[in-house]
Structure 1
Amino acid sequence: MSDSMFFVLENGRTRQIAREEFDPQKNNVCYISQEVLKEEHNRMGLEEIIFNDLSSERANFRTSLDSYADASVGYLNIINVDDLDGEMDRVMFVVRKNLLCLVRVDDGDGSEFSLFRTIMRQEQGDTTLAKIFYRFLERLLKGGNGRLETIEEELLSLEDQVVHGRADERLNTVIYGYRRQLSLIRNYYEQLVDIAEELEENENELYDERGLSYFRVLATKATRLVDDIRSLNESLSRLREMLDAALNYRMNNIMKVFTMITAIFLPLTLIVGWYGMNFKHMPELDWQHAYPLLAVIFILIVLATLWLFKKKKLM
């Protein structure tokens, strides 16, 4: 994979140029490696503080945007919402009035470079630096709606299992997994909301009103996805409550069965205990019909208890 791509923007159209043709006086767009930035930052007119920012430890953690006198610098943590266990990409961006420079910090599979090339092929007429940057950031939202819709359908399926009594305690682990997924996706989109809103603030006046409108749209789209995630989190909470209620109901039914069994056999236990005292003067012990009579009494007690439970709608 090439280390870099340079484009010049002329009359609303982009044209790829060689690295040596880069002219800081023109409108330029580029996707470069950290090594190229080290070699070219002076020719690009980037201040030393911007270059040092990339070299610092903060480049591995920070996701916010910083505004300088004539530039804005930030970092993007980029995830694939369809593969949350995959590697996270990181891209640094440097924006000036006549420059949009994306710097590859961690792009192991080249997906961000491929995205940049696709956008540059598509943006061939009536485009601006702000629009190209917007297209790049907007594509980072791609797949969000589809993934959230899939999660919603899966949660509805889980609710159906709970309602029809097919769920058990293992569902708690599944719910935790969905909560973790939604947390990762929410943090990702909130990052894009923050960056879009900070770009829209335009502290260093890099953009005109048309450019600001792009970032306003981006913030709205990302905010809508964050709101959808909040709704799914609420659905997860309801699902957890439904599961707890179902498990408690199931446990109560089990305890009710044990209680009924105890209630049925308690009178029998008392009778057995009574005759188990083995007193000598129990005339019925010598009666030849005593055993059949007690058997009939036991059966009547069981039937009477069952009838009482049924009458009280306990079974």
Structure 2
Amino acid sequence: MYYTILDGKVIRTEHKEESLITVSQLKEGVNPFVAHSEQLSDDYMASRTYSRFESYDGFDLICINHIHIENLQDEINPVYIIITNGHLDFYSTDYNYVISVMDEMKSFPNGFNINTVLFHFMMRIIRGDLIHLEDIGAELRQFESEIFDDNIDEHMAKKMLIIKKHLMKIEMYYELLLNLVADLSENRNGFYSKSTLKKFSLIDSKLDRLYSKTNNLLSYASEVWSTYQSQVDLELNKTMKILTIITVIVSPLTLIAGWYGMNLQMPEFHYQYSYPIVIALCIVIVVGSIIFFKKKKWF
């Protein structure tokens, strides 16, 4: 699908078959718009599919990993953008996404040029990301409330670890985009006007805020995890305390039972009140232990 800019508006136009190339050809360095296409080496195109920017003699090359941060398990579809003086070419296996972005620009007011198309395309990539990050923050706050309310379920630890891993991937994604925009703003080939560079600065600011937000959420997730671990340790200490109390109470009774369980002749065996005395002694030990632990506030 081809688009052109006419009177400052993005419009769809007919394509020329002879000018079309595939993504696989692009990875091999085939580019009809660049005279020195051998500069697109296999090392760059074939294996390095992370978001990045490279400036060559006569053209700039951008690779943006189009991902949805709310579902990082989806297949990553890199979008390659070749920029020459007055020409902008998109290549992607997910061409529907590129078409949807360009069709959206058709409804925008007049005043478009190649640079503003690139600006709006990059802004579209991060649109809605802040809402997803806010949702993650709300989920972490919910976890924290449940922990303080002693409402911990067996799946909470797994959920928190998944969120933390998810945030780490998002942080890396924004870091790569920040590096891309920083390299793009250097304007090594002189393709971008001062007004365009200001727009790139706006993208950089938005990305920096998203990166900082993600970093803060990662720190918050670590704090919630520490709180969870502390609460689990506290519950474990309570269990150990109860077991200790039971052991302390039962130990004297076990000693008495073992003592009188020996097949030895003891004088008190022939005393008619021996059993009532032993029973009373056991009751005194149990009641006395309970009173002692109550005063110590062990339970």
TM-score under structure 1 normalisation? 0.85
Shift of 1:67: 0.5
When residues 62 and 300 of structure 1 are mapped into structure 2, their CA distance, relative to the original with a 3 A threshold, is closer
- Matched-pair contact (CA < 8 Å) for 2:34–2:58: no
When residues 308 and 20 of structure 1 are mapped into structure 2, their CA distance, relative to the original with a 3 A threshold, is closer
- Counterpart secondary structure, 2:185: helix
Q: Deviations over 1:226-263 (max 9, x none)?
A: 11111111111111111111111111111111100011
In structure 2, distance between residues paired with 1:21 and 1:262: 86
Q: How many residues align?
A: 297
In structure 2, distance between residues paired with 1:143 and 1:59: 29
Match of residue 118, structure 1, among 101, 104, 109: 104
- Matched-pair contact (CA < 8 Å) for 2:61–2:82: yes
In structure 1, distance between residues paired with 2:124 and 2:45: 27
1:96 alignment counterpart: 84
In structure 1, distance between residues paired with 2:210 and 2:101: 21
Matched, 1:47 2:36: yes
- Matched-pair contact (CA < 8 Å) for 1:62–1:75: yes
In structure 1, distance between residues paired with 2:169 and 2:176: 11
**Matches of residues 63-212 of structure 1 in structure 2 within 5 Å?**
63-104=51-92, 106-107=93-94, 110-119=96-105, 121-168=106-153, 170-212=155-197
Matched, 1:216 2:201: yes
When residues 74 and 174 of structure 1 are mapped into structure 2, their CA distance, relative to the original with a 3 A threshold, is same
Matched, 1:308 2:292: yes
Match of residue 249, structure 2, among 264, 286, 291: 264
Shift of 1:46: 4.7
1:294 alignment counterpart: 278
- Matched-pair contact (CA < 8 Å) for 2:52–2:177: no
Shift of 1:169: 5.0
Gaps of 5+ in 2: none
- Counterpart secondary structure, 1:19: coil
When residues 188 and 218 of structure 1 are mapped into structure 2, their CA distance, relative to the original with a 3 A threshold, is same
2:3 alignment counterpart: 6
- Matched-pair contact (CA < 8 Å) for 1:31–1:103: no
In structure 2, distance between residues paired with 1:144 and 1:252: 41
Q: Deviations over 1:202-232 (max 9, x none)?
A: 1221111101011110011011111111111
- Matched-pair contact (CA < 8 Å) for 2:63–2:81: yes
1:17 alignment counterpart: 13
- Counterpart secondary structure, 1:295: helix
- Counterpart secondary structure, 1:207: coil
Identical positions, percent: 25
In structure 2, distance between residues paired with 1:251 and 1:59: 49
When residues 31 and 160 of structure 1 are mapped into structure 2, their CA distance, relative to the original with a 3 A threshold, is farther
In structure 2, distance between residues paired with 1:112 and 1:186: 24
- Letter of the aligned partner of 2:146 in structure 1? Q
Superposition RMSD on alpha carbons, in Å? Answer: 2.7
- Counterpart secondary structure, 1:270: helix
Q: Which segments of structure 1 move beyond 4 Å, counting only runs of 4 or more?
A: 30-33, 35-38, 52-57
In structure 1, distance between residues paired with 2:36 and 2:252: 92
In structure 2, distance between residues paired with 1:117 and 1:36: 26
In structure 1, distance between residues paired with 2:177 and 2:20: 19
- Letter of the aligned partner of 1:13 in structure 2? K
In structure 2, distance between residues paired with 1:249 and 1:172: 16
In structure 2, distance between residues paired with 1:82 and 1:253: 39
With 74-83 and 223-232 compared, the bigger mean Cα shift is at: 74-83
With 183-192 and 215-224 compared, the bigger mean Cα shift is at: 183-192
- Counterpart secondary structure, 2:240: helix
Q: Deviations over 1:127-150 (max 9, x none)?
A: 222111010001100121111111
- Counterpart secondary structure, 2:141: helix
In structure 1, distance between residues paired with 2:123 and 2:136: 21
In structure 2, distance between residues paired with 1:49 and 1:129: 25
- Counterpart secondary structure, 1:92: strand
Q: Deviations over 1:137-185 (max 9, x none)?
A: 0110012111111111111111112112221453221122112211222
Matched, 1:245 2:245: no
